[in-house]
Structure formats: C-alpha cells, structure tokens
Structure 1
Amino acid sequence: MPNKLDRATVVICTIAILNTMGLGLIMPVMPELLAGFQGGSIARAAAIGGYLSLVFAAMQFVFSPILGALSDRYGRRPILLGSLALASADYLMMAMAPYLWVIFVGRMLSGASSATLSVVNAYLADRSSKEDRTKFFGYVGAAAGIGFVIGPFIGGLLGTYGPRGPFYVASALSLVALVGTMLFVQESLPEGNRRPITWKIINPLSPLLAPVQGVSLALFAVYFFDALAGFVFPAVWAYFGAARYGWNSTTIGVSFGIIGICFVLTQAVTLGPVAKRIGNLNVAALGLSLGIAGFLTLVWLQSGLFALILLPVFSFRAIVGIAIVGESSAQVDPNRQGQLQGTFASLGALASLVSFPMMTQLFATQLSNGGSANTWHSGAPFLLAAGLGGVALLLLIMTVKPGPTTKGGQASKKAQ
C-alpha cells in the first residue's frame, strides 16, 4: 500500500479537482442564465436557484449510498467512469438547454454524478493503510477545495462571453477526468472483497436507521451536526458580507477564495501530521472548538477587514469531517468502505437539504423583521451554527471521548 502520493493517487486527486471545478465554474453565471428564463428578473432567478439547490442536494442524498454500494459490488473504476461520463453529458445538456425544465433535469443529473467523491474516497481507502488513510482523505479534500477556489474565478471570466460558456468548459473538464481514469486508474477492490447489493445498503435513510457495522453511531451524529453548522458559509456568507460590511461582489469573491485556500492548506498540509500526533478524534474536537469560537466572533464582529484576517482560523474547522471519516474508515472492513463513504456523503447531502433553507430563512427573517445588519440579528445564522457545533462537540466528548489510544486511526470506541 502506498504511503505517499503515487500516479494513481495524483490522478484521483485531479478527478476531485476537475469534479468540483466543474461545479464551481457554473456558480457565477447561474443568476444570468436563470434570469434569461424569467424575463430578466434576478429576484425570480434567485427563487428558482434555491429550488435547483434543493433538487441537487436531494439527488446527491439519494445517490451517494447507491454509488457507494455499486462500487462495493462491481468495483470502484466502472462507477467512476460512469459517473464522469454522466457529468460530462449533463453539463453539455445544460449548456444547450432551450427550456428551464431541462436545467432542472440537468441539476438532478449533476446531483447524482456529484456523489463521485464518495467512490473516490473508497478507492483511496482500498489503497492505503489505516494509519495513512486520513492523510489521503485530506489530499482529496484539499483537491476538492482547489477546484472550488479556481472554478468560480474562471467561471466569472468565461461568463463575460455568455452564461452558457462555463457549462461547455465544465463538460470538457469532466471528459478529461474520464479519459484520465480510463488511462491511469486501475481497479482497487479485489474480487474477494466485493459483496452483493441490498435495499438496506442503498436506502438513503439507512444512516439514520442503522449504522455501518463496526462504526459508532455517535460518529455519524457528530459528522451530521458539524455539516449542519458548516453549511452556514455557502448559505449566507455572501449576503452577510454585503449586509454588514458593505462588500461588493469582488470582495465577496476574494473572501471565498481565502476560505478555499485555507481549506486546502489545512486539509493537505496540517491534517495528516496533526492526526498522527494527537489522533483523529482529538483533531475533530480541536476543529469543532475553533469553529464554535469563530462562529460566535462573527455574530458580533463589525470589521470586514478583521473578518477576512480571521478566516484562516475559522477554516480550521474544515478538517473535522475528514478526521471523523478517517477515524470511521479505520474501523470498517475493506468490503464496506464504499458503503461507509456513501453513508457520509449521504449525510452531508441531507445536512445541506436542512441547513441551506434553515440558514437563509433565518437570515432573511431577522433582517425583514427590523433587525439591523450591524447587530447580532444579521449574525443569527452563525449563532445557530455555533450551537450546532456545540452539540457535535458534546456528542464527541461524551460518547466517543478523544484520547491517546486513537492515534493513527486506531479507535477507542466507547459507543457502538
């Protein structure tokens, strides 16, 4: 098993970059594209965009465990190839969409194919030792972060030539990832480690009904509450920055870039060494603590400059989910890695389904009811995020207490 980056791992990380870059490419042009179907109304376009986000998250929620289970049955490589081919065709369809319903179908397909990252993690779990698994998951998380940093910037530039251009480029990127997988990625799951598909495995509600064998249910709960809190940034950060700090679109874009870069650095550089030194669960506890402090600071922070300066500290919480996934992966047999990764991806999608409308409606309600953007009212979503992070931290401490025996991914499971 490799303990450092080899060619296959680099290709897998490149797939993660291209996959998330494709998603990021279309973000800046969606308002203009949707407004074109709504008589030029940005307000109506925003409403449609909210429905599209829900459709995307719902499909990701449903298909994450399905792709994970399919990869446990038929291998990682064919599922990766199929998902990337679907993504390429999907972006091309949306680029040429003559009607709004075609965009909805396209976003449904995007949600289904975006579950590819769960298969990517299962691939790396097959090829890495338990001690190095968290480090490799961090590489994928960092690669995905790079894609999210680069994608919106390039998408904004391409958007000057029309709102459909980024979709063609996203389709091409998925095609490049498909070719790279065909040429350089070999199957990682031996025939002897494969298992049949059952309804229980592919049911998207399975994480809530029954845990993956060998993994503490508390770890799933910690992951879910942390994800609920973390989605506050993509949900309201742009609106919050504009309302409280008077940021324009350029400054908001820069702030997202800072967040993305910090996510990449913490996941690719910091996570591996720190996890080996103090253990995955202690890393998760540290990340949750810093995240709670950051959320509470943003509730009342009045300086936009200090908000930008403190973003690197806030971003350390990005390693929480990966540390939990790494800890869980060390507790699961090889033939269940796909199911495990699909379960976490499904939980993340469910969290986005709940968190996006919850955070945006809380923000809008506080301001529309007379709350000032310069008081805690505009920061109410971050106050809620701090509470959700507190629940995650409490669960982690009380049910799966971090300790030195968890170093290197060797779990000390207190609750099963």
Structure 2
Amino acid sequence: MDGGPMSQRQPAIVFIFITLFLDIFGIGLIVPVLPGLVEKMVGGNEETTSHMVGWLVALYALMQFLFSPVLGSLSDRFGRRPVILLSLLGSGLDYLLLAWAPSLWWLFLGRIISGITAANFTAASAYIADITPPEKRAHGFGIIGAAFGLGFIAGPAVGGLVSEYGRHLMGDYGLRLPFILAAGVTLLNWVYGVFVLPESLTKENRRPFHWESAHPIKSIKSLSRWPVVLSLSGVHFLMNLTHTIYPSLWVLYTKKRYGWGELDVGLSLGFVGIMSAIVQGGLAGRIIGFLGDRRGLLLGFALMTVAMVGYGLAPNGFVIYVVMFVGAFSGIAGPAAQAIITKKVGATEQGEVQGALNSVASVAGIVGPIVWTWMFAYSVSDERKIHVPGIAFIVAGILTFGAMLLGRWALRGEKIGAAKALETPFPLRDDPPA
C-alpha cells in the first residue's frame, strides 16, 4: 500500500501502535533471561558476566549507530513501511539464531544482526511525524511510549514465567524458550505488517537517497542546520546514556542486592510497563498539553533524576516499586522533546533527523553499557572492602540532572506558555488501550 495522504490519522496510529507493541513484546521476552544465559556460558563468574552483558548491549548499539542513518534516509526515499517490515523480518530470524546459539560468540553474532535491523523506532518516529499535525505530536510520540510500556507489561513477565518454569521442566535449556517465543511473536508481527500496515510518506514528500546524509558522523553533524535540535540532541544523548543502565544492570543489580530471580525481574518490568502505558498512552499528551512542551521536558527530567537516585538508594524491593511509580511520570520528557524537535524540521527531512537522533542514542548505547557494567562490577568485586552496588544509578541521576539543565538552556529563547489546559489531541474513545 503506497503513497497517498493518510485520510484517517487515528487508524494509522493504531496500526503503528500494534506493530511496535508486538515488537517490544518480543524484545521484552528475553530481557530477564539474557544475563542468565551469558552467566551459564562464562561459567558463573559474576564479574565476567557483567562485562559480557555490557559488551553485548554496546555491540547492539554500535550496529544501530552505523546503520540507523542509512535506514532513516532510505525511509525518506522509499517510505516507512518497507523499512519497518525488513526490520521485523530480520529481528524474527535473529531470535531463532539466538535460541540455538551454542556459545557466547554466537550471541555476539546475533546482537550484530539485531542491531543492524533495529530500525523500528527511527521509522516509527518518522511515521508518527508524517501523520500527525505539529501541535499534536507530543500525544503522537506518547503512542510510541505506550507501545513500549504495554510491550513491557507482557514481555518480561511472560519471559520470566516461561524461563522460570521451563528450567524446572527442561533444565538450563529453559532459558532459551523465551527466544523461540520472541521469534514467533516478531514474525507474526511481520506478517501483520505485510497485510495491514499502510504507508505514511506521500510520494511528493520523498527525496533522493544520498550516502552523505546516511553517514553516521555526517548525519549527526547535519543536526547543526537546526540550532535548537542540535542543542536538544545533547539532551537526547544524556537521556539515552542514563537509560542504558536498565538493560545493562537491572537484572544483575536486583539479583545482587535483593536476590531477585527471572520471575521477580519480569514482574518488576511488567509493573514499569503498566505505569509507562498509563502515563505515555493516556496522560503524557494531557500533561504536556497543559504545561507546554518546554515545561513538560523539564519536569520529566526532574522526576527522572529522583527516580535514578531512588533506585541506587532503595533498601528493599518495596521501595523499588514506589520509585518505579514516581519514575513512570518522567516518561513525559521523551514525547515533549520529540514534539519540539519535529516542529523545527520540514516534512521531507523527518526520516533523516530521526535517523541522526537514533545515531546519537546509539553512541550513548555504545558507551553506557560498558560504563555501567564496569562501574557495577568494580563496586561488587571481591577486592572491594565496601560494596556499593547502587553507585551506578546515583551517577546516572547526576547525569540526568545535567540533561535537565542543558534542556533548560537549549530552550531559553522558546515561549513558555502552555497549550490550552487539558485539551486532548484525539478523542478519548480513540486512544489506544492503557
């Protein structure tokens, strides 16, 4: 289905929402079990496991850094639909590879493939920008967050359950069952997209592909054409740098400090998903509509700072859940930032800009996992007399506070006035389920 203008924006948003939900569900399935699988492959050494998990996450981000601008620019040339579909097909086949990986090096190969094909968010962000008017994009980008949240309600919880009971029935091979399930869900998502997902980019808004705009370094440099976007790309970097602490450390940290297993981790991430879906799918557009993009961005980062420090200091699992509740409202920062950025960019350049921003995020994804896992491994090493496993989260909180200050500086010339209070960008009955 190609090309003409989208006559009904709401159905298109539903299509992209379901596509992203199923994709995130597949990713969420393996989050609780990947560190355990690595631990088995390296012989149970805690410090080595931390480092290997960090390198696996960083390698995934490196591939995104190299290939996201290419795929973003290709989506400007050929449309969003083919990029999303190719990404889903590659991810589904990659999960099958990971399910049968006989050694650590096969896991590394799998992460390379999944990183190359992980263009969903670049193309999905451009897709939302294509079909949503500028004044309603904060709500539109909240849809992406809602899909992320709902995917993480079911994904980690199901992954934890499948691996927990799979290990009782099948031993260590139970750790691989979530990969098989993720492959099935992702390939089902691909089939769904082939038959249902419409194209969002009209033919008149497409432009020729240029390798110069697809080069990752030049892609980032191209952001200098929009001064506010360039400044906010620094905010985007710090936000993603601190968020890499979750896939890098959450399983290792909660196991070390609170004795959590795969099921506990899955349930905690499921709770995060529920709160994220409520905030980003139902409340983000309303909060940002009331406060305005600028205030929404700053409030989001303030809450994120509190949450990061709270995770590092929480004495028990109950307090962790209280912190997760507060931290969920920091999810307004992402949609607010995206809304500001897309308003500064023309319709023919959304894919290029989203690809460049994804490259910025990928740089953070390369650096962050290595830094956080090194910091965690150092803090819990047997050589240390005092173990402070939460120090990485406290440092992340400091960086998040820095992101808030940078965002305030970047938007110093922007109007502060809020939009109409409580104005909803779309009718309530048409909002995705939260």
- TM-score, with structure 2 as normaliser: 0.84
Are residue 378 (structure 1) and residue 389 (structure 2) matched?
yes
Matches of 1:154 and 1:303, distance apart in 2: 24
1:324 to partner: Cα distance: 0.7
Instruction: Identify the match of residue 188 of structure 2 among 166, 172, 176.
Output: 176
Are residue 201 (structure 1) and residue 213 (structure 2) matched?
yes
1:96 to partner: Cα distance: 3.8
Secondary structure of the residue aligned to 1:186 is coil
Partner in structure 1 of residue 147 of structure 2: 143
Q: Contact 1:207/1:220 (CA < 8 Å) preserved in 2? A: no
Matches of 2:44 and 2:149, distance apart in 1: 32
**Pairs within 5 Å for 1:41-52:** 41=44, 43=46, 47-52=51-56
Are residue 391 (structure 1) and residue 402 (structure 2) matched?
yes
1:130 to partner: Cα distance: 0.7
1:235 to partner: Cα distance: 2.8
Q: How many residues align?
A: 404
Q: Contact 2:9/2:132 (CA < 8 Å) preserved in 1? A: no
- Aligned Cα root-mean-square deviation (Å): 2.7
1:299/1:30 Cα in 2 relative to 1: closer, same or farther (>3 Å)?
closer
- Greater shift, 168-177 or 98-107, is seen at 98-107
Letter of the 1:361 counterpart: W
Are residue 58 (structure 1) and residue 62 (structure 2) matched?
yes
Structure 1 alignment gaps of length 5 or more: 409-416
Matches of 2:418 and 2:225, distance apart in 1: 19
- TM-score, with structure 1 as normaliser: 0.87
1:332 to partner: Cα distance: 0.9
Are residue 333 (structure 1) and residue 337 (structure 2) matched?
no
Are residue 8 (structure 1) and residue 7 (structure 2) matched?
no
Q: Contact 2:291/2:419 (CA < 8 Å) preserved in 1? A: yes
Instruction: Identify the match of residue 328 of structure 2 among 303, 311, 315.
Output: 315
**Pairs within 5 Å for 1:232-311:** 232-311=245-324
Q: Contact 1:69/1:339 (CA < 8 Å) preserved in 2? A: yes
Percent identity between the aligned chains? 32
1:307/1:86 Cα in 2 relative to 1: closer, same or farther (>3 Å)?
closer
1:86/1:306 Cα in 2 relative to 1: closer, same or farther (>3 Å)?
closer
Q: Deviations over 1:119-165 (max 9, x none)?
A: 01111211111111121111111102221231122223333053433
Q: Deviations over 1:271-329 (max 9, x none)?
A: 10111122112111001112222333444443432232232112222321221112101
- Greater shift, 86-95 or 109-118, is seen at 86-95
Matches of 2:294 and 2:7, distance apart in 1: 21
Q: Contact 1:145/1:261 (CA < 8 Å) preserved in 2? A: yes
1:126/1:152 Cα in 2 relative to 1: closer, same or farther (>3 Å)?
same
1:184 to partner: Cα distance: 1.7
Matches of 1:307 and 1:165, distance apart in 2: 28
Matches of 2:312 and 2:44, distance apart in 1: 32
Matches of 2:361 and 2:299, distance apart in 1: 20
Secondary structure of the residue aligned to 1:337 is helix
Q: Contact 2:159/2:266 (CA < 8 Å) preserved in 1? A: no
